[in-house]
């Protein structure tokens, strides 16, 4: 898969000769990993040219680097360009892709780069987009849509579609209709335009009151709407209901993948930037505050064990079974937590009462506790020959797994009721719960029944 020296040299020659289209044909045949290789191999003079080749769209089969190269890696490549180079890079991009590039190089440089964009229309669109809050529909939308007054006839609309200025909107499948003040009133799918009589008014064939979002709506809301209703594109309106852009499904996919990663990470207390490609220093700095917080909760569990130091000194065998009790409790708690938070992320919790969810997880916890407790008790009796140890383990396991089921369901429910993200750090709260209860019930029962 690695590129050979001759290939890199050939591309450098193409770039130096100014044959950007030849270079384009060359990079189109490469795998994403080879493109990374290339970016790391070419010299500083060819570097900005290569990025421009990669970012120039419109070649058949060409894939935007924004889609195939991981964002954090791409950011390191983009950061090496100066403001002028970045402004030139933005030129062929749609507003949403250009905004992504600006977000990758950072908020500080974005205004300066925007200033250097040569096309006044693009400059203005970028300036507006950067005014919208991060993660809003306004930043996700692009301006390549087709709109016509609803008073147009089908024939007039077709002429509009045929006009060279409409070429940029070529991937779209709908024509939006607006009233005299530019407010969104309906949509006419192209197939309807194809079928309509020439003299038919758009107001007669349009589908009125189309679904839409506003510029300030959260991108996750857009993703939810798109997923629920199966929209391929969604129009975006401003506060005055004027049509200002559209969001297409491919952008929504990115939002959904980011959301899935975010949920998974928050459950484990991992910070967003801690990706596979992050540097050692960056990962360390991001993990250390969380690990310090974890240490506090670990000492909480340790202090529970400390209450029974005297019992353990008499019965060192108890220490052997501590990992079993704590491990099984942590496992059940984390499983229940995962089921509940994922159900919340998919909106399944809207159909079930809180009491039913909690009651059910408690019941499953007791059942699993009894089964696993019986197995543990049997194994411990066979190993150590002490029937009292078996009874203590059996009872402690039921208590611990019941609490694990309850905690796994209660913690995210409470966090959600408080208006917080149900996944945020809930993993550590639940395992702290199961550790404390597990050690207390096991060692407590042991000191009552075995000493």
272 binds its own copies (CB under 8 A): no
Q: Output 114 or 431, the one with its CB closest to its own copies.
A: 431
Site string for its own copies, 382-421 (x = CB under 8 A): ----------------------------------------
- Interface residue with its own copies among 38, 126, 322, 446 (CB under 8 A) is 322
C-alpha dihedral, 123 to 129 to 132 to 138, nearest 10°: 160
327 binds its own copies (CB under 8 A): yes
Q: Output 130 or 282, the one with its CB closest to its own copies.
A: 282
Q: Output 291 or 449, the one with its CB closest to its own copies.
A: 291
- Measured CA to CA, the distance from residue 244 to residue 212 in angstroms comes to 11
Tell me the window of 14-22, 85-93, 123-131, 185-193 that interacts with its own copies (CB under 8 A).
Answer: 185-193
- Interface residue with its own copies among 342, 358, 386, 450 (CB under 8 A) is 342
CB of 124 to its own copies, least distance (A): 25
Of 404, 400, 378, the closest CA to residue 389 belongs to 378
**Would you call 202 exposed, middle or buried from its count of C-beta atoms within 10 A (0-12, 13-18, 19+)?**
buried
- Interface residue with its own copies among 111, 204, 277, 387 (CB under 8 A) is 277
- Measured CA to CA, the distance from residue 389 to residue 381 in angstroms comes to 7
78 binds its own copies (CB under 8 A): no
> Beta-strand (E) ranges in 224-308?
233-237, 243-248
- Interface residue with its own copies among 115, 173, 216, 451 (CB under 8 A) is 173
- Interface residue with its own copies among 79, 115, 346, 387 (CB under 8 A) is 346
- What does residue 247 show for φ and ψ, rounded to 5 degrees? -110, 130
Helix, strand, or coil (residue 261): helix
CB of 272 to its own copies, least distance (A): 11
264 binds its own copies (CB under 8 A): yes
Q: Torsion-angle region of residue 236: left (phi > 0), alpha (psi -120 to 50) or beta?
A: beta
- Interface residue with its own copies among 123, 335, 358, 414 (CB under 8 A) is 335
CB of 388 to its own copies, least distance (A): 17
Which residues between 224 and 263 bind its own copies (CB under 8 A)?
226-233, 248-250, 252-254, 256-257, 260-261, 263
- Measured CA to CA, the distance from residue 150 to residue 205 in angstroms comes to 9
- Interface residue with its own copies among 20, 200, 201, 317 (CB under 8 A) is 317
DSSP conformation class of 133:
P
HSE, CB side, 13 Å, CA atoms: give it for residue 431. 21
Site string for its own copies, 18-57 (x = CB under 8 A): -------------xxx--x---------------------
| Residue 35 CA: distances (Å) to CA of 61, 150, 248, 389 | 15, 47, 27, 62
- Measured CA to CA, the distance from residue 377 to residue 240 in angstroms comes to 69
Helix, strand, or coil (residue 247): strand
Segment (H or E) for 185: strand 184-189
Tell me the window of 18-26, 111-119, 236-244, 297-305 that interacts with its own copies (CB under 8 A).
Answer: 297-305
CB of 83 to its own copies, least distance (A): 27
- Beta partners for residue 214, in sequence order: 237
């Amino acid at each position: 898969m690695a590129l050979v020296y001759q290939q890199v040299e050939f591309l450098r020659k193409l770039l130096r000769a100014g044959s950007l289209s030849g270079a384009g044909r060359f990079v189109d045949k490469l795998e994403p990993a080879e493109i990374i290789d290339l970016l790391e191999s070419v010299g500083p003079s060819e570097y900005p040219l290569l990025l421009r080749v990669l970012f120039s769209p419109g070649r058949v089969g060409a894939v935007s680097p924004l889609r195939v190269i991981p964002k954090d890696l791409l950011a390191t490549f983009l950061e090496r360009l100066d403001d002028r180079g970045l402004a030139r890079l933005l030129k062929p991009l749609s507003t949403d892709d250009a905004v992504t590039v600006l977000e990758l190089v950072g908020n500080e440089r974005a205004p300066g780069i925007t200033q250097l964009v040569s096309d006044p229309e693009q400059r203005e669109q970028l300036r507006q987009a950067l005014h919208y809050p991060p993660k809003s529909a306004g930043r996700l939308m692009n301006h390549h849509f087709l709109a016509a007054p609803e008073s147009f006839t089908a024939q007039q609309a077709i002429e509009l579609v045929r006009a060279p200025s409409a070429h940029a909107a070529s991937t779209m499948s709908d024509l939006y209709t607006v009233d005299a003040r530019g407010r969104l009133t309906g949509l006419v799918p192209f197939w309807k335009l194809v079928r309509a009589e020439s003299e038919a008014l758009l107001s007669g064939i349009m589908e009125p009151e189309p679904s839409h979002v506003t510029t300030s709506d959260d991108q996750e809301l857009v993703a939810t709407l798109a997923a629920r209703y199966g929209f391929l594109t969604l129009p975006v309106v401003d506060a005055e209901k004027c049509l200002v852009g559209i969001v297409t499904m491919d952008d929504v996919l990115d939002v959904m993948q980011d959301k899935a990663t975010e949920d998974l990470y928050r459950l484990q207390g991992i910070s967003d930037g801690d990706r596979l490609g992050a540097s050692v220093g960056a990962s360390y700095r991001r993990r250390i505050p969380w690990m310090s917080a974890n240490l506090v909760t670990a000492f909480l569990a340790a202090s529970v064990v400390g209450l029974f130091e005297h019992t353990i000194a008499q019965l060192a065998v108890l220490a052997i079974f501590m990992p079993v009790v704590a491990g099984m409790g942590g496992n059940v708690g984390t499983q229940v937590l995962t089921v509940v938070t994922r159900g919340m992320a998919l909106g399944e919790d809207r159909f079930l009462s809180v009491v039913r969810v909690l009651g059910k997880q408690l019941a499953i916890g007791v059942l699993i506790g009894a089964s696993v407790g019986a197995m543990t008790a049997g194994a411990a009796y066979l190993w150590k020959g002490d029937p009292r140890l078996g009874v203590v383990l059996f009872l402690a396991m039921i208590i611990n797994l019941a609490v694990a089921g309850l905690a796994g369901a209660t913690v995210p429910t409470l966090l959600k009721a408080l208006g917080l993200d149900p996944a945020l750090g809930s993993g550590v709260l639940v395992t702290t719960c199961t550790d404390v209860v597990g050690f207390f019930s096991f060692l407590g029962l042991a000191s009552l029944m075995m000493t």
